[in-house]
Amino acid sequence: MITRVVDAGQAARARARMIERLRVQGIRDVRVLAAMQAVPRHAFVDEGLAFSAYDDTPLPIGYQQTISQPFIVARMIELLCAGRELGRTLEVGAGCGYQAAVLSRLAVDVYAVERLRPLLDRARANLRPLRLHNVRLKLADGSLGLAEAAPFDSIIVAAAALGLPAALKEQLAPGGRLIVPVGGADQRLLLVERQGNVFRESWFEAVRFVPLLGGTE
């Protein structure tokens, strides 16, 4: 386990600057901003990168994966939240656990799946001190969702799919929303809203994510 020695006051000031920057960038949902304010992002990155934890940039977390930049985390969650509660939520790609921690403050329950066992272990270690009783982590192929816990009111995918994964669409509850980056070299955010048996699709800004892969390792 990595022992981090971080000045609490300095981290709090950096986090406050991050929140102000998110406001300037257009994040308006006060619930999302409060959740981002509450989670110590520096606790989810390597000690050597802690000084950059609140910059608006993705950071490496090992195994060719990254923690998304704060704006993208906030933007995707805000799109899921707009005018509603997150409810029962599936996160595909738990990574280091940061986004699950943010989601835990907005959702009734968070089911976070990760295909890489070492990253799942890291997420568990990072989340343990926060004692988040509504977060459940599991080693699983995220492209297949998590049928045992479905349906979900909200699904958020932290990796880019070439198309909308059928399993995730099927596991979306009526009235639910799913947000996923879609594309190869060129990626955009896709928001899917289920209204009965009708699935409405809306496209948003360009993004850059690692690809969504199948299987577990």
Query: What six digits make up the tokens of 61?
Result: 């977390």
Placement of tokens 């409060």 in the chain: 34
Concerning whether 68 is annotated as a catalytic residue, the answer is yes
Distance CA 156, CA 185 (A): 20
Q: What angle do CA 176, 154, 142 make, to 5 degrees?
A: 125
- Which residue in 146, 138, 130 sits closest to 114, CA to CA? 138
Instruction: Quickly count: other Cβ atoms within 10 Å of residue 28's Cβ.
Output: 10
Q: Which residue's entry shows tokens 């110590």?
A: 40
Per DSSP, the three-state class of 58 is coil
7: amino acid identity, one letter: D
- Residue 210 zone, left/alpha/beta (φ > 0; ψ -120 to 50; rest): beta
Catalytic residue among 52, 68, 154, 202: 68
Q: In terms of DSSP bridges, do strands 65-67 and 59-62 run parallel, antiparallel, or are they unpaired?
A: antiparallel
List, by residue number, the catalytic residues.
Answer: 68
